[in-house]
């Protein structure tokens, strides 16, 4: 409850490299809002457009125990910071006309509806592009948009777990006996969102140079297939279907999570240099020239032996003792939980935890800060997530002013 005391304060205002870029954000749930949050963290002016009932994610917990307002929970707050919020009913003529006016002065519009929803509202890419030829129109959907490639699944809804499963991620994530798992972070949403943010940024740069906008399409399934690149090329090279290997690596050793006297730690020393250093620090210098472990290839053929050597050494020491011996010499790291992140000096030095105001709560709440660091145009959080429709009058007033100029 006092975690904000070790976190970085919010910035006084937007200052990132995308300052001056205007984004109309029609997204909901996770993938789309995370995409536009990345752009907002980089300084873009993102206006989140919600229907009268609000984004479906607003009421997803957790809520602070002392939240007297409950405008939104942590799920929504985390991915909608740095945005202004307005309410438009796009099922009405007034709502549609207002959106069209917003698009006329925007660099990009981002949505994550099913394919055809915006077309059905009379707000297709083609119609909006007629109003603003330099508009970048971006869509993040489960299976893409017919404009860039027909899919037999185009009308299927999708969530993170579906994208992880179909894209291959689940197939090689799991235990050594073959049980598979969804990856903990929602990479089925977050990775497509990140790819989309890159695509939008590139397309906006092209539009500003050429005056030509375009449709940017990222399918969750496509993005997760790209993320699973290793299993694709392994199958192409020799027909190998990659299966789960637990926490180890199918091509590198040692490269694993090893038990310690009080937990686990990660150690990776597959190169000749790091293996030699590791052997010396473990008091096993003879393993450098041992025919079972002399190269990474030999260590892979004798992976069980290598793991036993490593486990024998790590299990008799605490995680802190191992870090003290190996830190800075071979790749090593403790397995952190959420509480550990708040205590780690690296994250504090890098300002990676940020304290953000929350309506109805008398203390800030903490989120990960932007991992993109820029020296001339600092990125980060300068605004909490908006209440439903909080900036409607402000944004409409700006439209009126622009039209009078």
pLDDT (tens digit, 9 = 90+) per residue, 234-259?
999 999 999 999 999 999 999 999 99
| Residue 329 sits in the same domain as residue 353 | no
Radius of gyration of the chain (CA): 25
378: in domain: yes
> How confident is the model over 1-11, as a mean pLDDT?
83
| Residue 263 sits in the same domain as residue 142 | no
83: its two tokens: 């945005």
Q: Residue 100: which CATH number?
A: 3.40.50.10540
| 155 three-state secondary structure | coil
68: in domain: yes
> How confident is the model over 278-291, as a mean pLDDT?
98
131: nearest Cα among 168, 88, 86, 99? 99
What mean pLDDT value characterizes the chain? 96
153: in domain: yes
> How confident is the model over 38-42, as a mean pLDDT?
98
Between CA 273 and CA 158 the distance in angstroms is 45
Domain termination residue (choose one: 337, 366, 391): 337
Give 1's pLDDT tier (boundaries 50, 70, 90): low
71: nearest Cα among 87, 86, 54? 54
Between CA 366 and CA 64 the distance in angstroms is 12
Range of the domain at 205: 3-229+343-404
Q: Residue 294: which CATH number?
A: 3.30.1540.10
Residues annotated as catalytic (active site), given as ranges: 189
| Residue 292 sits in the same domain as residue 166 | no
Whether 308 has a pLDDT exceeding 80, the answer reads yes
Q: Give the pLDDT confidence score for residue 105 in this predicted structure.
A: 96
- What sign results for the dihedral spanned by CA atoms 204, 209, 210, 211? positive
| 283 three-state secondary structure | coil
Domain termination residue (choose one: 316, 337, 358): 337
151: in domain: yes
Between CA 327 and CA 321 the distance in angstroms is 10
Q: 224, 163 in Cβ contact below 8 A?
A: yes
| Residue 324 sits in the same domain as residue 357 | no
250: in domain: no
Length of the chain: 405
394: in domain: yes
Strands 332-334 and 353-356: unpaired
| Residue 50 sits in the same domain as residue 160 | yes
| Residue 132 sits in the same domain as residue 201 | yes
DSSP-derived secondary structure letter, 381: -
Q: Give the pLDDT confidence score for residue 324 in this predicted structure.
A: 97
Between CA 160 and CA 57 the distance in angstroms is 14
Which residue(s) pair with 138 in the sheet? 110, 216
pLDDT digits (tens, 9 = 90+) for 50-106: 999 999 999 999 999 999 999 999 999 999 999 999 999 999 999 999 999 999 999
292: nearest Cα among 280, 308, 277, 281? 308
> How confident is the model over 116-145, as a mean pLDDT?
98
Between CA 206 and CA 115 the distance in angstroms is 25
Query: How many domains are there within the chain?
Result: 2
| Residue 161 sits in the same domain as residue 271 | no
Q: Give the pLDDT confidence score for residue 2 in this predicted structure.
A: 72
Q: Angle at CA 185, nearest 5°, toward 255 and 180?
A: 65
Across the beta sheet with 263-268, the strand order is 255-260, 263-268, 332-334
138: in domain: yes
Whether 404 has a pLDDT exceeding 90, the answer reads no
Whether 5 has a pLDDT exceeding 90, the answer reads no
Q: Give the pLDDT confidence score for residue 401 in this predicted structure.
A: 82
Whether 158 has a pLDDT exceeding 90, the answer reads yes
pLDDT digits (tens, 9 = 90+) for 366-392: 999 999 999 999 999 999 999 999 999
Q: Give the pLDDT confidence score for residue 384 in this predicted structure.
A: 98
| Residue 197 sits in the same domain as residue 83 | yes
| Residue 125 sits in the same domain as residue 274 | no
pLDDT digits (tens, 9 = 90+) for 180-206: 999 999 999 999 999 999 999 999 999
> How confident is the model over 321-335, as a mean pLDDT?
98
Q: 48, 386 in Cβ contact below 8 A?
A: yes
- Look up tokens 């660099």; give the residue: 107
| Residue 28 sits in the same domain as residue 136 | yes
Chain CA centroid to CA 33, Å: 10
| Residue 131 sits in the same domain as residue 55 | yes
| Residue 121 sits in the same domain as residue 178 | yes
Ranges of beta strands (E only) in 303-364 are 332-334, 353-356
237: in domain: no
DSSP-derived secondary structure letter, 13: S
Whether 16 has a pLDDT exceeding 70, the answer reads yes
Domain termination residue (choose one: 337, 358, 387): 337
User: Between residues 294 and 6, which one has the greater pLDDT?
Assistant: 294
> How confident is the model over 16-40, as a mean pLDDT?
98
pTM of the model: 0.95
């Amino acid at each position: 409850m006092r975690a904000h005391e070790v976190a970085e304060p919010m910035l006084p205002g937007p200052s990132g490299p995308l300052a001056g870029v205007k984004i109309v954000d029609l997204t909901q749930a996770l993938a789309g809002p995370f995409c536009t949050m990345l752009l907002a963290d980089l300084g873009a002016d993102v206006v989140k457009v919600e229907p009268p009932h609000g984004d479906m994610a607003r009421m997803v917990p957790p809520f602070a125990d002392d939240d007297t307002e409950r405008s939104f929970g942590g799920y929504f707050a985390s991915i909608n910071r740095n945005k202004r919020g307005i309410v438009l009913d796009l099922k009405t003529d007034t709502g549609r006309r207002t959106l069209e006016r917003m698009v006329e002065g925007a660099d990009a519009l981002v949505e994550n509806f099913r394919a055809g929803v915006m077309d059905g509202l009379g707000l297709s890419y083609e119609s909006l592009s007629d109003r603003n030829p330099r508009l970048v129109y971006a869509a993040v959907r489960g299976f893409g948009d017919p404009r860039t490639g027909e899919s037999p699944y185009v009308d299927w809804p999708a969530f993170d777990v579906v994208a992880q499963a179909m894209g291959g991620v689940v197939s090689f994530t799991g235990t050594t006996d073959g049980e598979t798992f969804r990856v903990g972070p929602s990479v089925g949403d977050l990775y497509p969102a990140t790819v989309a943010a890159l695509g939008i940024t590139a397309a906006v740069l092209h539009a500003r140079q050429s005056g030509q906008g375009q449709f940017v399409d990222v399918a969750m399934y496509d993005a997760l297939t790209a993320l699973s690149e290793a299993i694709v090329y392994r199958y192409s090279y020799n027909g190998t279907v990659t299966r789960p290997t637990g926490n180890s690596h199918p091509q590198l050793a040692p490269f694993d999570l090893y038990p310690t006297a009080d937990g686990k730690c990660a150690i990776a020393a597959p190169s000749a240099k790091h293996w030699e250093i590791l052997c010396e620090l473990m008091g096993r210098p003879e393993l450098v020239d041992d025919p079972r472990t002399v190269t990474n290839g030999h260590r892979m053929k004798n992976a069980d032996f290598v793991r036993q050597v490593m486990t024998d050494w790590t299990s008799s020491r605490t995680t802190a003792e191992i870090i003290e011996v190996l830190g800075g010499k071979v790749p090593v790291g403790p397995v952190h939980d959420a509480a550990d992140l708040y205590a780690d000096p690296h994250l504090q030095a890098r300002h990676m935890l940020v304290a953000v105001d929350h309506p109805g709560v008398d203390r800030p709440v903490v989120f990960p800060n932007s991992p993109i660091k820029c020296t001339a145009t600092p990125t980060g959080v300068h605004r909490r997530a908006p209440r439903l429709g909080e900036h409607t009058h402000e944004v409409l007033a700006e439209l009126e002013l622009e039209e009078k100029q």
